[in-house]
Structures are given as C-alpha cells and as structure tokens.
Amino acid sequence: MLNKKKVCVALSGGVDSSVAAMILQDEGFDCIGITMDIGDCENLQKGISTIEGAKRIADKLGIPHYVVDVRKYFEDKVIKYFVNEYLRGYTPNPCVVCNYYLKFGVLLDKAIELGADYIATGHYAKLCYSDEYKRFIIKKAADKAKDQTYFLYKMSQYQIAHTLMPLGGYTKKEVQRIAIERGLFEKPKAESQEICFIPDGDYRKFLKHYLKNMPDSRGDFVDLNGKVIGKHLGIQYYTIGQRRGLGVALGKRVYVVDIVPESNTVVLGHKEALLKRELISIKNNFILFEKLKESIRVEAKIRYNAKLAKATIKPKSDDEVHVIFDEPQNAITPGQSVVFYKDDMLLGGGVILRAV
C-alpha cells in the first residue's frame, strides 16, 4: 500500500515543512526528518537554529532526525553560482538552483540511501501522474498567492516521481491553523522572504564581502546613446530595472535598462526603455514533454512575483527558446527564470539569456 511507504521529510524547523511531516504521518507514512547543514557562511545566521528547530519538530512528531552536511555542495552549487552570475551581469535565482541540486538532488539521494521511497517538502505545489501525458506533472497549488511551482521547473521525471508535496491542496492560513491546533507552534511563525544565506536582504553587502580581494571593477554609466554620464561600482552591484542606489544625479528618474559585461558598462534610461515583448531563454527544461518541437501558446512569468502573461514560445535552437509576449513586459532580466504554464499545469521554463 502506498501509505505504508517510507518518506524523508526535509525539515527546516518552519511551519510548512513541519505540517507537511505531520500530514504524511497522519496518512500512515513511515516518516524520517532530514535537514540540510548549509554551514555558517558570512551573513548566514540561521544554520544552527534551523537544525535545532527541525530537531524539535522531529521530537514532537516522534520521528528519527538526520542532519546532512551539504556545505560543500551549497558553496559550489549555490553561493558560487550566485556570485558568478552577478559578475557576468546577470541576476541569479538561487532558490531554483538549490531546489534542483540540493533538495531534490543531494537530499533525495540521502533519502534513498536511508531506505525511503520519497523525499517530501513543504512546497506549495501539486505533484501527480498524468494519464494524458504519460508523465509525472506539477500543478499549481490551491493557494495561488503562495504557489511555488515557479521554483520547480527544473525538476526531472525521476525527481517528481520520488517527491511528495502534501501542502499543495492547502492554503497558508490553513497550514498555520493546523500547526497551532496540533501543538507544533504556539503562534504563527514569521517567514523570511529573503535569500536564506542573506537574511538581511542586502545582497550587495554580501557580494562586497565575498569579493573583497577582487580587483577594482568600476566602470561607466552610459545613456541610451552611449554617452558617459557617471561611474558605477561594478556591474555585479546592479540589476535590470533598478532605480535606487545608483549614485548619479541627472535631474530625472533613470533606471538600469541594460548591463554590458564586454564593455563593463551599465546603461541607464527612462522607464519605457524597460518594456520588451521578446526574450531568449536557455537551459530549458520541460515537464509535460521532453523537448519543445513546435510553437505553442502558454502563460508565462519572468519573475516569481510577476503576473502571468499570454505568450507564444517556439524552439530557436537545441538549447534556446524564443518567447514572444502578447504585451510588453517590464524589466526582462538576464539570469532570472522565465516559467511557462498551460492552464494549472507547470509546462517548464528556462533561464533568460537576453531580451530581444
């Protein structure tokens, strides 16, 4: 019987993963708690508290708890990726990378090693098998405001088949209520909206510390005509659409509209210059099929908190997809993920290479 199988629940000590473990335990799964030790790098203050919080939940649920040392993987796959993308003039998406390589990579491997059939997380998404597509698929969560499918587009068929996400049918308020009623927490626990290794949200401070021994990387701010209008501190400290903290006074509002690593320049312009209808994505992965072979209509978003917008996607090359939106999108940002949907199903996604 399915509900007698063993599952490793990725516990963070937070409400979502804790309730996910309790729901699976109620359903009859043989649960094991498992927590990543991502270390205590500069600006990261939550490593030990996360492990202690997860252990507390495991004890309350009466389940075994293991800590998996992923510090090297986290440094190599997440931190270095994060820094190197900014150095290239891109704006990275570390949660997508962490999910793929660590939560559904290293942790899933550890779960299988411990004899489990699945890894489970507190993500708000629905995983199931589709008879229509003859594939494992990912659907949007019941709580559309909390839906986290955007961060899951890189998942492989193997990863989806061996993953459970029991919160997909719940709202965040319902999960918080369950956590309190069942005695896991005394009151709703505040959630961090920041990157886990930058809890204060100041990624520029993090980069300055990490790159403290790097040679001077200052260069020119230029306008849309290429005229030099100021000096920037290094392309890694800017992102498309940025208005604040530029350090230039031009008597009008200007925004970062392009970053050109080849010339070490940051292009500033008016807000309308940020509106683009087309982009090219790379490193694409599709859930509903193996490969995009023809043009199809989708809904897409260019960042997690963006609204879904109607678009057409078509193959451009073996590794590139051409995305054409019906309406211009604001601040299409290289390095961020563009994610595609068909109705309530996650179709796939890729990394934005450039706006066209």
Q: If you write DSSP's letter for every residue of 67-84 in order, what string do you get?
A: EEE-HHHIIIIIIHHHHH
Residue 342 neighbours by CB under 8 Å, 6+ apart: 288, 296, 298, 299
Domain range 215-269, CATH class: mainly beta
Q: What confidence score (pLDDT) does residue 198 get?
A: 86
Is 196 annotated as catalytic?
Answer: yes
| CA 50 remoteness from chain centre | 19
Please identify every stretch of the chain with a pLDDT value under 70, giving residue numbers as ranges.
Answer: 1-3, 40-49, 189-193
Q: Is 86 exposed, middle or buried (0-12, 13-18, 19+ CB in 10 A)?
A: buried
CATH of 276-355, one of 3.40.50.1700, 3.10.20.440, 2.40.30.10, 3.30.2290.10: 2.40.30.10
Domain at 2-181: CATH architecture: 3-Layer(aba) Sandwich (3.40)
Q: What confidence score (pLDDT) does residue 46 get?
A: 45
* DSSP-derived 3-state class of residue 36: strand
Is 95 annotated as catalytic?
Answer: no
Which residue is catalytic, options 8, 31, 95, 98? 98
> Can you tell me the distance from the alpha carbon of 102 to that of 313, in angstroms, rounded to the nearest whole number?
29
Which residue is catalytic, options 8, 31, 95, 196? 196
> Can you tell me the distance from the alpha carbon of 7 to that of 135, in angstroms, rounded to the nearest whole number?
21
Tokens, residue 207: 């980069």
Domain boundaries, the chain: 2-181, 215-269, 276-355
Q: What confidence score (pLDDT) does residue 228 get?
A: 96
Q: What is the mean pLDDT of the chain?
A: 93
Q: What confidence score (pLDDT) does residue 128 get?
A: 97
Q: What confidence score (pLDDT) does residue 192 get?
A: 63
Residue 150 to residues 58, 65, 96, 305: CA-CA distances in angstroms? 29, 29, 8, 9
